[in-house]
C-alpha cells in the first residue's frame, strides 16, 4: 500500500510539473522562477514565484528586503470565475518582513500577516477577478528554499498550490538524509541481533 501511495505522489508531482510548464506566466517566472497551477471548482489560476539570493532582489516598489536574507516573491494570477480572496503559505523555517511590491502592478492586498503555529504567511484581497492578478507578494528569510505548499481561497472554495518554495527549517535534515540514517540504524540493529 505504501508503494502505491508513493507512486501516486510521484505521478501527481510529475503531472503538476508538466501542467505548470503549459501555463502562461508573468515576470517572476520568466526571470528564472517557477509557476504552479491551482484548480478547485471555479477557483483556478497560477502562482508565479522566485527566490532571490541575498542582495539580488530587483524590485523597489514598496518592499525593502531584510539585509543578508533570501527574498521569497510570489504573484497570483486568477483564470477561473471565482474571485481570489486570500493566498497563504505554511512556512516551516524562519521568516520575517512580510510585504508586497508595486513593480508588477496588480491588486493590492487588504492585509498581510506572518505568524501563528505553524507559522504562515497570509495575504487577503478584496476579490481578484477573472484575468486579474495580485501585486508582488514577498517575505524574507535567512534559510534557503525547500518545496512546500500554499492555499488559495475564494468565498467558499479552497485549492492547494503544490509545489511552492518556502524557507526550510534550520534544524530538520532533508528526507533523504533521514532515510540514510534510519537505514544505517536498521543495519546496525540487524547485525547486533545475529
The confidence score (pLDDT) of residue 180 equals: 59
Domain assignment present for residue 189? The answer is no
Nearest 5 degrees, angle CA 139-CA 142-CA 147?
70
Nearest 5 degrees, angle CA 137-CA 140-CA 142?
155
Residue 70: Cβ-neighbour burial (10 angstroms; 0-12, 13-18, 19+): buried
The confidence score (pLDDT) of residue 133 equals: 97
Domain assignment present for residue 153? The answer is yes
The confidence score (pLDDT) of residue 67 equals: 96
CATH number of the domain that 160 lies in? Answer: 2.60.40
Domain assignment present for residue 45? The answer is yes
- Among 127, 31, 131, 35, smallest CA distance to 87 is for 127
The confidence score (pLDDT) of residue 24 equals: 43
Domain assignment present for residue 102? The answer is yes
Domain assignment present for residue 168? The answer is yes
> Could you give the C-alpha distances from 133 to 48, 105, 122, 137, in angstroms and in order?
11, 8, 16, 11
The confidence score (pLDDT) of residue 79 equals: 96
Cα–Cα dist 41/81, whole Å: 9
Domain assignment present for residue 184? The answer is no
Q: Quick one: cell of 56?
A: 539580488
Element (DSSP H or E) covering residue 84: strand 84-90
Element (DSSP H or E) covering residue 152: strand 145-153
The confidence score (pLDDT) of residue 188 equals: 55
pLDDT, tens digit, 9 for 90 and up, residues 57-108: 999 899 999 999 999 999 999 999 999 999 999 898 899 999 999 999 999 9
Domain count, the chain: 1
Contacts of 104 (CB under 8 A, 6+ apart): 26, 27, 28, 59, 75, 133, 135, 136
Q: State yes or no: cis peptide before 24, omega within 30 of 0.
A: no
Cβ–Cβ under 8 Å, residues 137 and 61: no
pTM of the model: 0.74
Domain assignment present for residue 70? The answer is yes
- Among 75, 70, 78, smallest CA distance to 29 is for 75
The confidence score (pLDDT) of residue 167 equals: 86
- Spell out, as residue ranges, where the chain has pLDDT lower than 50: 1-24
> Domain span at residue 65?
26-172
Domain assignment present for residue 42? The answer is yes
The confidence score (pLDDT) of residue 92 equals: 86
The confidence score (pLDDT) of residue 127 equals: 95
Amino acid at each position: 500500500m505504501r508503494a502505491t501511495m508513493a507512486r501516486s505522489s510521484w505521478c501527481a508531482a510529475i503531472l503538476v510539473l508538466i501542467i505548470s510548464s503549459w501555463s502562461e506566466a508573468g515576470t517572476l517566472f520568466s526571470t528564472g522562477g517557477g509557476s504552479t497551477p491551482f484548480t478547485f471548482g471555479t477557483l483556478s489560476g497560477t502562482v508565479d514565484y522566485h527566490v532571490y539570493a541575498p542582495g539580488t532582489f530587483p524590485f523597489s516598489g514598496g518592499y525593502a528586503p531584510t539585509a543578508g536574507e533570501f527574498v521569497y516573491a510570489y504573484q497570483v494570477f486568477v483564470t477561473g470565475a471565482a474571485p481570489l480572496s486570500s493566498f497563504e503559505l505554511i512556512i516551516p523555517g524562519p521568516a520575517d518582513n512580510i510585504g508586497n511590491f508595486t513593480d508588477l502592478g496588480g491588486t493590492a492586498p487588504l492585509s498581510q500577516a506572518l505568524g501563528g503555529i505553524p507559522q504562515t504567511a497570509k495575504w487577503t484581497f478584496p476579490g481578484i477577478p477573472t484575468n486579474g492578478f495580485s501585486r508582488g507578494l514577498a517575505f524574507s528569510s535567512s534559510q534557503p528554499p525547500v518545496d512546500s505548499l500554499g492555499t488559495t481561497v475564494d468565498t467558499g472554495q479552497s485549492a492547494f498550490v503544490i509545489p511552492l518554495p518556502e524557507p526550510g527549517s534550520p534544524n530538520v535534515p532533508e528526507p533523504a538524509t533521514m532515510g540514510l540514517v534510519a537505514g544505517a540504524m536498521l543495519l546496525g540493529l540487524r547485525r547486533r541481533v545475529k
